[in-house]
């Protein structure tokens, strides 16, 4: 698959079969994470946690639903795996690093035909729940900043029509 095609068809998947992805698919997604650019090459400022324990995923889901004020909500969408990205870095660089990793993993998920969705709100909820945060077994000083929900899905990735007009306000300073 060409990069431009993957970028065009990439979308957030919010429905999963409950079935785990294969080890090969996970390896491809993790390899893409490892290939992401990291500010100043500080690779030791990043930690990945792969959560597949259904009870823990349920706790994270319930914590996030409470955080959002909607107990019937399922912010992890039933995904059977959550790859949490944590950092001990500070400020914009740490956030940018997580964004680069998520984008790389998302594009790899598309190439692998794996359902995926970037998760931020549920991670913010976990960060405010010390007991739940402790269950992630993060190294000292690391804070979860984002995650990727992944799993098999019946949804498909299809070409999108992108408007010719700019979606964002743009200016040029000369």
Higher-pLDDT residue of 85 and 167 is 85
pLDDT 10s digits, 33-90: 999 999 999 999 999 999 999 999 999 999 999 999 999 999 999 999 999 999 999 8
If you average pLDDT over residues 133-149, what whole number do you get?
A: 98
Largest CA distance in the chain: 55
pTM: 0.94
User: Where residue 170 falls among pLDDT bands split at 50, 70, 90?
Assistant: confident
Going by the DSSP 8-state scheme, the letter that residue 88 receives in this structure is: S
């Amino acid at each position: 698959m060409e990069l431009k095609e993957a970028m065009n068809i990439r979308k957030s998947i919010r429905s999963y079969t409950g079935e785990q992805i294969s080890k090969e698919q996970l390896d491809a997604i993790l390899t893409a994470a490892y290939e992401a650019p990291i500010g100043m090459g500080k690779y030791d400022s990043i930690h990945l946690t792969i959560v597949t324990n259904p009870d823990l995923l349920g706790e994270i889901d319930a914590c996030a639903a409470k955080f959002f004020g909607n107990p019937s909500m399922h912010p992890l969408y039933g995904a059977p795996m959550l790859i949490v990205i944590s950092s001990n870095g500070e400020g914009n660089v740490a956030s940018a690093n997580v964004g680069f990793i998520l984008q790389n993993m998302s594009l790899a998920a598309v190439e692998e035909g794996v359902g995926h969705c970037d998760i931020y709100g549920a991670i913010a909820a976990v960060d405010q729940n010390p007991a739940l945060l402790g269950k992630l077994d993060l190294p000292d000083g690391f804070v979860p900043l984002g995650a990727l929900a992944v799993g098999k899905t019946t949804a498909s990735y299809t070409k999108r029509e992108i408007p010719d007009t700019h979606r964002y306000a743009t200016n040029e300073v000369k």
